Chains A and B, each alone.
Chain A
């Protein structure tokens, strides 16, 4: 079946709503507007305003209400329009959702799913271009997902809803229109493991979410140079699939981490540190990193492109890794 990332996500929400009466969707413009990115288009008509809830511009209140509703026995899907606005809900996510189980000595659980759009690449300038998923991945108590494919867009939500703890799903804004093939019976997928999207022998390109298509393109370009790159899609950013990272690094002995987040104190830094902690003697080259330039993302196209990871930069970093030490 031909579909798009957006439609796959919508099918996932629809299925969850049909299968479990406790599931409902709330967020800004999810109903009458049809979803800021049209993910929830048509769902208000199908499920009504009780279960497709338009909220006021009150990120902290409706995210906190999602936490409360989860505590109270519901299975809310909170949609925060974009990660940029999740900053207004940070207190609820980090001080409540992430802590309640532990802080209460295991008495309370928050089975909440929060979805949000992330990322740059559409000339939306600094306040609308954040990639803060790595930042959320810093927080114990949260599970962080970054579906990069149509199958993951279709399948991760249901599994996330079965998780008794809070799960954040980051949907990169450039992915919604991406087309893909989906089996007619496509359904839930695991939310624990990373996936090798392209096997290779010479260098491991480790990435997730919005940069996956670009990294696959870089791998194709490297192939024409005779460099056989393996592409690992992390899928879950917390907890990281250490086994998958180990498998690819011990296979290729070279790694480049590609992350749209900023480099300092980032997810790419974490992955690089884990690789060197455990596989230092397996490496044939220093771990490379391709991240965003350390500036607020600028509006102008040429400046934005200069700030973001690109296939050229990934190719260059992979070549450097392969040619390191001769």
Chain B
């Protein structure tokens, strides 16, 4: 990929996530989507950059703030929105909703709503690859809040001890719900935690998609070539509330505004335009293309069929093969 091609690709990826989530927020207000909805608006560079470094047969484990991860992993906007509408056409047939997107075809293992719950699973996926001699990588995303859980420490230790091919991706947006990192960690330099387990770890600017992509490429290459687990701390910020219920009493508007100035989409776009690498026509076309994708997805979700109630107890156990 040429530099320009890669930059456009990252910009398009981020724009797709942004529009998908803006659409979700609108649909939430219109009560088409219910339950908890956590958007990553502002953090798009993280998923865009890391996903760009993965191969199709790698695995991804994410959190409840995972719409963008699913989309960029290759799950269609159609099936993501249909899922949030509780429709049969959704990627989990309406059972999972926003926090539990899963997709076997793209090896997207969720969608986990228990903080740090995905880390041990990622270690196990990597263990299976290791034991079966496959050169695949498992990318595990989690918020900085997860760093306080025992499962984080147990998982990092295990991955390092057994030298497993996991890429730990810490999305450090400075807050776990309403509690700032400084109130929850005695050591706020999170890469040091990984280093304590002998895991190579480095931070990157999570508002800069090119920087994330570069850091991820280096880390993924190292993991894939047998270098054991690696850890990325991506410093980012969520522009919106934690979920749709959060009155945001814990941070002031000026802080949010100062991060919004570093909007990863606007930043990359401005850089490219300043260097004459993105014409106004290209940008307009990109927006139109993405808008059309999301409009189509809403129509698809609207037109879907609610999962029949008779199917409620399906998928609890393996179904006998039909002759």
Contact = CB atoms under 8 A, between A and B. Distances in A.
A59 to B, nearest CB: 8
A33 B184 contact: no
A246 interface: no
A28 B250 CA distance: 13
B313 A295 contact: yes
A298 B99 CA distance: 12
A197 interface: no
Closest 9 CB pairs of A and B: A33-B178, A300-B86, A299-B97, A56-B148, A123-B35, A300-B94, A56-B184, A298-B95, A127-B113
Please classify the interface of chain B as helix (H, G, I), strand (E, B), loop, or mixed, using the class held by over half of its residues: loop
Interface stretch (B1-9, B281-289, B304-312): B304-312
Interface stretch (A2-10, A249-257, A301-309): A301-309
Interface residues of B, number: 42
Given A34-B247, A125-B99, A127-B113, A61 B177 contact: no
Contacts of B254: none
Please classify the interface of chain A as helix (H, G, I), strand (E, B), loop, or mixed, using the class held by over half of its residues: loop
Contacts of A57: 115-116, 145-146, 148-149, 176, 184
A58 B149 contact: yes
B149 A307 contact: no
Contacts, number: 126
Contact of B185 (A56, A293, A295, A298): A56
B95 A127 contact: no
A33 B312 contact: no
A125 B35 contact: yes
A36 interface: yes
A122 interface: yes
B253 interface: no
Interface in A105-160: 122-128
Contacts of A298: 94-95, 312
19 contacts: A28-B177, A29-B178, A31-B179, A32-B249, A34-B178, A34-B249, A56-B184, A59-B149, A84-B114, A123-B35, A124-B99, A126-B95, A127-B113, A293-B312, A295-B312, A299-B95, A300-B95, A302-B86, A303-B86
